[in-house]
Amino acid sequence: MSPPQLVVHRDKELMAQAAAARLITKVVDAQASRGAASIVLTGGRNGNGVLAALAAAPARDAIDWGRIDLWWGDERFLPEGDPERNVTQARQALLDSVPLDPARVHAMPAADGPWGADADSAAEAYAAVLAKASRPENHGAVPSFDVLMLGVGPDTHVASLFPEHPAVRETERMVVGVHGAPKPPPTRVSLTLPAIRAAREVWLLAAGEDKAKAVAIALSGAGEIQAPAAGAYGRSRTLWLLDAAAAAQLPPELYPPAVA
């Protein structure tokens, strides 16, 4: 487990721009050292904000887009092309504007796909794709993602792992179907905490006053069942990227205020 590092930015726009710059550097470095990069994307306003900032960044052309594998931390189990699906929003924000290799864009199954409305079978299928991409040197049945990004919800949820929900208690499976989620839509597919923890780096994104309580809870020693964000960490680095509003309730003895 890597101890969390905290970076607080003035506002959500600056946070998104800085996160995009960090991501460009991380991808370029991974491609230089290993030939390719593996990134897990997140949805929501902060995840999509980072992708939009990346799309607008001139330095995005430093990335070899044909040598990057893209995965998702979770997905709303809706029909292909639904505007609420994370992959649909990611395509609009960035993916459709860069020359990706379609074979390396690993979207989670849709509700009108080969498994129909069976989210559990869809989760098993995604787990199989992850396992196929894993290498002997990786930690478990998923690739060692270079960066896995997660948005932090106001209730401390990450991906589609909600407090006290069965999915957050999973210790063996890498991907699960989520049923009865407290946030619509109720049916989802999500990576589990074991899959998240296989990443080299985990970046948790939070911006806005509505995230302040969740950030404070997750960084103040809460248990992962009650606060899933507290259980999300990387093998080499765990980075919390916040704006000043989201950091407003952090205990000063743990993280003295320092706005970047």
DSSP string, the chain: -PPEEEEEESSHHHHHHHHHHHHHHHHHHHHHHHS-EEEEE--HHHHHHHHHHHHH-GGGGGS-GGGEEEEESEEE---TT-TTSHHHHHHHHTGGGS---GGGB-PPPPTTSTTTT-HHHHHHHHHHHHHHH--TTSSSSS---SEEEEEPPTTS-BTTB-TT-GGGG-SS-SEEEE-S-SSSSS-EEEE-HHHHTTSSEEEEEE-SGGGHHHHHHHTTT--TTT-GGGG---SSEEEEEEETTTTTTS-TTTS---B-
Bigger pLDDT: 2 vs 35: 35
Task: Tell me the per-residue pLDDT of 160-176, one tens digit each, with 9 for 90 and over.
Answer: 999 999 999 999 999 99
Section 247-260 average pLDDT: 69
Section 51-66 average pLDDT: 97
pLDDT > 60? residue 256: no
Section 101-110 average pLDDT: 98
Task: Give the right CATH number for 4-243 from 3.40.50.1360, 3.40.50.300, 1.10.10.10, 3.30.499.10.
Answer: 3.40.50.1360
Q: What per-residue confidence (pLDDT) applies to 141?
A: 87
Q: What per-residue confidence (pLDDT) applies to 39?
A: 98
- Indicate the pLDDT class of residue 139, thresholds 50, 70 and 90: low
Q: What per-residue confidence (pLDDT) applies to 257?
A: 53
Task: Tell me the per-residue pLDDT of 175-228, one tens digit each, with 9 for 90 and over.
Answer: 999 999 999 999 999 999 999 999 999 999 999 999 999 999 999 988 999 999
Task: Tell me the per-residue pLDDT of 109-132, one tens digit each, with 9 for 90 and over.
Answer: 999 999 999 999 999 999 999 999
| 3-12, 15-24, 72-81: least confident range | 3-12
Q: What is the pTM of this model?
A: 0.95
Q: What per-residue confidence (pLDDT) applies to 62?
A: 97
pLDDT > 70? residue 255: no
pLDDT > 90? residue 30: yes
- Indicate the pLDDT class of residue 8, thresholds 50, 70 and 90: very high
Section 216-241 average pLDDT: 96
- How many Cα atoms within 13 Å fall on the side-chain side of residue 154? 7
Bigger pLDDT: 136 vs 202: 202
Q: What per-residue confidence (pLDDT) applies to 130?
A: 96
Mean pLDDT of the chain: 94
Q: What per-residue confidence (pLDDT) applies to 138?
A: 67
